[in-house]
Every structure is written in C-alpha cells, then in structure tokens.
Structure 1
C-alpha cells in the first residue's frame, strides 16, 4: 500500500481546540422517561433483513433488501427525516434518530425506540447524535447538545431500553467528540481529557454497573481521532501528532502494538468479519484525498485499499454492511446530493454497481 500523502494545513493547536470544543461534561439532565407520551412508529409487518437499504423519497421512505446483486423492495415507513437507524431483529428492537422541526423552526431531534408493540420517544434535548447500541441490545450510548449548532454539549449518555431509564455516567473526563464505543455489554470506552489534570489524554473505560472508571489505554502517541474495539482486549486507534496520522493496533492485555499504516486520516464506518478475521472500513486516504473502502487482515495487519475508480468516491456517511456471503455493501457518490449502492465481492476482489439510478440511499445492518 502506497503511503505518500499530501501535507495537511491544520495545526496541532487547532486540532486540540477542536477536540476540546467537541468534548462535554457528564450529563445532569432528568430521566428521559418523563418526556412526551409514547407514539408508535408505523413499520407494520416489515421483515427487516440482515442488511437494510433505506431510500428517502419525497412522501415516504422506501426500504430494500439485498438479493444477490439487486435490491428488492420490502416496505415503506413514514416520510420522517431519519438520520440513523439501529435495529436487532432477534430482540425486536428498532431505534430511529429522527430530525424534527418545531413550530418555531428550531431543530429538535428525537430518538424513537420501538420494542415489540411499545415505542418510547426521547426528545429532552435539541440534538442527539452518534447512537451506539450495546452488544446485547439492552442499552444505547449517545451524546446530546442543548443547541442545534452542537456548540453546547451535554455529554455522553446511556439509556436502558428494558428498564426505561437513563444510566448516569459519573466522570470528569471531557469526551472528545464521538470517540466512544461499547467494549462489551457492561463497559464503554472513550477518549478524552480531565481539564484540571495535566497529561490526562487517555482512552478510559467505564463500567455501567459499578460506575467504576479506569484508564484503558494510556500509551497514545498523539491526539486520538477514532477508536474501534475488535475485542475486549484489542483496539484500533487512529491518532494524529504534528499532522502525521497513524492507524495502530493495540492489545491492552499483552501490551502488543502494531503500526498498520500512515495513509489514513479518517475512519467513518467499520464492519468486521470475525470468522475470517477481516475488518473493512471507510477511510480518507492521504494519497488520494478522498474516501475509499479499505480492509485490514487481522492475522497479518496488512491494510489494503479496495476501491479506486468504481466508485471514484465512497460515501463516508452512506453506511457499511456485510451480506451473508461476507461481501461488503457500501455507497458511492458522484454528486453532493445523490449516491448509489455498490457491492464488493471479496472472493473475486471486484466491485459492482447494484442500483439502477442514483438517489438518497443509506445502508443499515442488523446488530
């Protein structure tokens, strides 16, 4: 993999400022269960597949499943501005992040949680973002803001779906942006600093049952831009130091460390084929300046760029999923407002277009 890249103009001071501005203090808001009455989400008898494609139409949202190298319609849901969807077929849990505009023209996002026949709406804050669900699908982790411009962060928050309550996170760590993940069903990890403690920029671990916080990884070489948990003891870290990016593998149990590449400046979506120990992600290449599909062999830690001209640009916000054969489903775009769905055949190392016309598509996967 070529590793020559363009120089970035962003200074370290600016990066620090942006990281701190994206951080937030622990939440002190009241329980979300005190919000508006439950309202149903009309998804009817739609049988969500392992990979769902949502296409936003003017008067409804069309849902598709992947059938080989084609899309099959599976149903429609209301024409809400759905910003995100997380679901578990097995637990009959569907979580929608929905953009709302109130009567005064103010943006006020809602999180709609549908489980079985019941729907709960969380709309206490103006803006919610970056929802991540626990492996057992019992809890969601997200961050919230008091303003539509996301300049007044309230912190990361956890909501227990089964018990219909918020789990308070007791921490002094100012979490940097959306750099947080579920480690397992009881633990989350996040990168941040403690404002009155020098050299406190670490990745921390928090147990949601005991409320215990500890340092998970403290050997970072720069500012942490993104993290991905491979297993309870293994993690990928993308960091930046003096405009040099490094994607590195860490085993916190054994202390093993492996530099994977210096050619990636952003990671926006990650999926893992655990059976074949392969990881796929959408990343920004310093070499090309655009977003592409990449893979990492977790046996050798070899990183490979999989897409170049088809498509020329991978949609960094289009989603990422694996089909039952282990092929990679992703979106590519040639314009600002429309994209297409592609499939990367892992057996033949080839990419195919599977949509007939460009539209507003988003890929979601069963958790």
Structure 2
C-alpha cells in the first residue's frame, strides 16, 4: 500500500511539473505550408476591424498577399531565414493589454506566454535570437525588463548582468551582440549603455559618461546615434566607437519615436519631432554628421506608432494622415532617396503599419 501511494505521489508530481513548464512555452507544432506568412522585405499590415491584411510593395504600390490570423499588435521577421514573430493580443477584460508571442521558425511554430504582456520585439541579424520586454500584470509598475529568447534552441538565455534595462532601449548590433541602456540598482553612476556578447556570455560597458539620461539610441556601422536629456534640454550626438569620441549634431530633436538604419549608406531614418513643430521624417548621415528633415506638408501628419521600414533599394516607408484624430484613416508613403521625393503608394486609406525584414 505504501509503495502504491508513493507511486501515485510521484506521478502527480511529474504531471504537475509538466503543467508548469507548458504554461511558459507551448509545444512545437508543424506549420502547414499555406500558413507560413507570405511576407517580403517590406510588409504593410492593415487592421480592418480586427481582420489583418498583408501587403507587399510592387512597383510603388500595395499588392495584397493574403490575410493573417490573430489580433497582431507587433511583429518582427527575417525573410531569408524564414523566421516570423508576432505579438498577438489576448483580450482579458476591459482595457486589457494581455498578449502572447507567436513564433514561426523553419516550419515549426510555438508560443511564449509566461508573462502578462510583451512589447518591442527585436530580432538579431540572423533571426535566431529575440529580445523583448515583459510585464507581470496590466500595470506599467509590473515591468520585468528585457528578456532574450533563443529561437533556434527554444529556450531563454540568462544574462550574467545586474543591469535594469530602461524601457525599450535595447538594440542588436549583430547576431551575438546587443546594446542596452540601464543602471544597476543601488549602484551610483551606473547609468550607461552596456553591450552583451552571447558568444562569450559577457557584459561590458559600451558608453560611459552620457550627458544626462539616454532617451533613445540607434546603432550604426561604426558607432551609435544618441538622444539624451538633461532637465528641459535634449541633445543629439553621434558616438564613434573607433575613436571613443562624441560629436554633437547641430539640429536637435526633442523626441525620437522610431528609427531604421541603412547600414550600406551609413544613414539613420528617424520618425521624430523638433520642439514646437509637427512630427516628421528625418535622415541622419554619418558622412557629414548632419540631420535633414524630409517631410513637411506631405503628409501633414505622421503616425509615430505605425513604424518605419526600408527596402534593398533604399526606399523608406511610413504612414501619414490628414488629421491626428483620424489615425485609423492613414495612407502609406514612400521616400525615394535617389529622387529625393515623397510618394503616396496606397490607393485607399486604412489602419496601416509598416515593417521590414531584418538585414
């Protein structure tokens, strides 16, 4: 009888442990070929009352490539390595932000759901590592910080770090290295940009002595574009990793919302704003350390939350609208760098967002 009871207890314990594991990572499933997203290097998603349509760019116009399942609130993908990551909303009562992460990689599909919500999905350059930040509950005070997931081996990567990463201030610079801004709890003067190398499982300081607080940064080929804030003053500057020097940019932005880097031309395209002016598309050039505004009245307003994307021909895509109050009636625009022109490429207004595959 005692042996029987022990066996029952062991079985219950084993089944319970399996239940806890499955709550965090859903078992891999084979993906039907027709369920693999038909995304291209630039993808436009349209939220049509909860139904999502996907478009590619074809001859300066939107071409429908099908629909997607789930209420998508964010995504990141790598076309060349067939990795597609979506953040899917899971309504859980009024004003709920609950969501899961759905990963489709090389014909296999699995989910991450060991959190209440996850934001700011960022893939590394070969699509096998995903960085994001999570929350324990429907409250900003429940922030858990940055997490990194190894998609290839289906497991979380634990960083040997005591840094509390500040919001969404983390960016991959190659397949193994990620930059992040933050501080160590209880340690003075620890607010810095750090670099973590997963190939060495080691953290180092990337940039010390930031003038104020870092509010945004965007890595480039040989350095990083940084927006810092001290009191009511913002400063935009470029940090050159080779010379370990910082160079101030003449025109200052007061806020940066989204960026996309053109590593080939050593440029950063920015959705941002200068004090007292409307939101606009800008370009920062490393060659002459200048910041140039690209949009003014066409379109009148830019949607800062709809993203910015770039294709292999250096065309940049973003969303705009006539009125900020009508953000569900947007158009998709393309900035043609060769012609220095802004072009309307959508034929109908919609609730669009733009994305591009990692390079």
Specify the TM-score bucket, using the shorter chain as the normaliser.
0.7 to 0.9
Q: Report what 1:171 is aligned to.
A: 161
Q: Report what 2:6 is aligned to.
A: none
CA offset digits 1:306-328 (Å, max 9, x no partner): 00111111111111122343221
Partners of 2:39 and 2:178 lie apart in 1 by 28
Q: Report what 2:310 is aligned to.
A: 322
Q: Report what 1:293 is aligned to.
A: 281
Match runs of 1:215-364 below 5 Å: 215-231=205-221, 233-288=222-277, 290-333=278-321, 334=323, 335-364=326-355
CA offset digits 1:99-150 (Å, max 9, x no partner): 1124898542100000122111001100101111111211001111101223
Partners of 2:344 and 2:329 lie apart in 1 by 14
CA offset digits 1:140-177 (Å, max 9, x no partner): 01111101223211121110001000001232222111
Partners of 1:150 and 1:131 lie apart in 2 by 17
Higher relative contact order (CA 8 A, sep 6+): 1
Match runs of 1:102-117 below 5 Å: 102=92, 106-117=96-107
Q: Report what 1:51 is aligned to.
A: 42
Residue 183 of structure 1: CA displacement? Answer: 2.4
Q: How many equivalent residue pairs?
A: 335
Q: Name the CA shift for 1:145/1:275 in 2 (closer, same or farther; >3 Å).
A: same
TM-score (norm. length: structure 1): 0.85
Highest Rg: 1 or 2?
2
Partners of 1:41 and 1:246 lie apart in 2 by 47
Partners of 2:23 and 2:108 lie apart in 1 by 13
SS of the residue 2:88 aligns to: strand
The partner residue of 2:172 within 155, 163, 182 is 182
Q: Name the CA shift for 1:54/1:185 in 2 (closer, same or farther; >3 Å).
A: same
Q: Name the CA shift for 1:285/1:106 in 2 (closer, same or farther; >3 Å).
A: closer
Confirm whether residue 63 of structure 1 aligns to residue 54 of structure 2.
yes
Q: Name the CA shift for 1:298/1:33 in 2 (closer, same or farther; >3 Å).
A: farther
Question: 1 or 2, which has the higher helix percentage?
Answer: 2
Whether the 8 Å contact between 1:246 and 1:261 is mirrored in structure 2 is no
> Relative to structure 2, which stretch is displaced further, 32-41 or 147-156?
32-41
Whether the 8 Å contact between 1:227 and 1:236 is mirrored in structure 2 is yes
Partners of 1:273 and 1:177 lie apart in 2 by 24
The partner residue of 1:74 within 65, 78, 81 is 65
SS of the residue 1:307 aligns to: coil
> Relative to structure 2, which stretch is displaced further, 356-365 or 55-64?
55-64
Q: Report what 2:357 is aligned to.
A: 366
Q: Name the CA shift for 1:64/1:208 in 2 (closer, same or farther; >3 Å).
A: same
Whether the 8 Å contact between 1:52 and 1:64 is mirrored in structure 2 is yes
Whether the 8 Å contact between 1:108 and 1:123 is mirrored in structure 2 is no
Residue 95 of structure 1: CA displacement? Answer: 0.3
